[in-house]
Amino acid sequence: MVSTKDFEHRPQVGKRLTLDFINTEGEERNGPPDWLESYSDVVRWCAAEGLLTADQTADVLAEASERPGAADEVFDRVIKLREGLFRILRSLRQGKAPVGEDLAILDRELSAAMANLKFTPSGDRFEWRFGGGEHELDRVLWPIVRDAADLLSSDVLERVEECDGDNCTWLFVDTSRNHSRRWCTMGDCGNRAKARRYYQRHKRSASTTP
């Protein structure tokens, strides 16, 4: 069944590929609909992110239709990686050591991705590109896990925050000058928080009025 999700207008608040990937589960984990509910959803999300060309998208979708069991296995890896990365980042934000199982998931996927990374000529210089067969179903994971490794080993990690909104778990890089960003979006969680404070102030004022 073809997905009806509008991937061209997907939420992008993380300011980083890894964080937007984690945020595909929705603001409230196990709450709003998940953007990634099948392997084809993952492929179309990757295409919208510019991680797959049109030809690569067609190739992996065709391969998935021929090998649905293998596609399901890759999809399971995608979800395990997404949840593992979320727990790793939350642990680090809380000053805790990530659990070994989550680190093992990341390490396995990173090893698989790096095995397909090639140092190739590009004009008068060289660059890193993912090689491997165009029909490899797990190629959807490679750029994500590489970005995750880059993020976890960079100074940007110190600016990763979690939305202050009630029950919202979206992550983002706080690029504000004074490190004051609190919500995933001002128009969503920010406005709800303001409305809640307004209601509470007026409720307290009404209760103290003679």
- State residue 19's pLDDT score: 97
- State residue 62's pLDDT score: 95
CA-wise closest residue to 149 among 186, 92, 192, 106: 106
Per-residue pLDDT of the chain (210 residues), as tens digits, is 456 788 988 888 899 999 999 999 875 554 557 899 999 999 999 999 999 999 999 999 999 999 999 999 999 999 999 999 999 999 999 999 999 999 999 999 999 999 998 888 888 888 888 877 667 999 999 999 999 999 999 999 999 999 888 778 899 999 988 887 888 876 567 555 444 443 344 444 445 555
pTM comes to: 0.85
Q: What are the E-state strand segments in the chain?
A: 117-122, 125-130, 160-162, 171-173
- Domain 7-160: assigned CATH number: 1.10.3300.10
- State residue 117's pLDDT score: 86
Token digits for 170? 């979206």
- State residue 198's pLDDT score: 37
- What is the rounded distance in angstroms from the CA atom of residue 145 to the CA atom of residue 78? 10
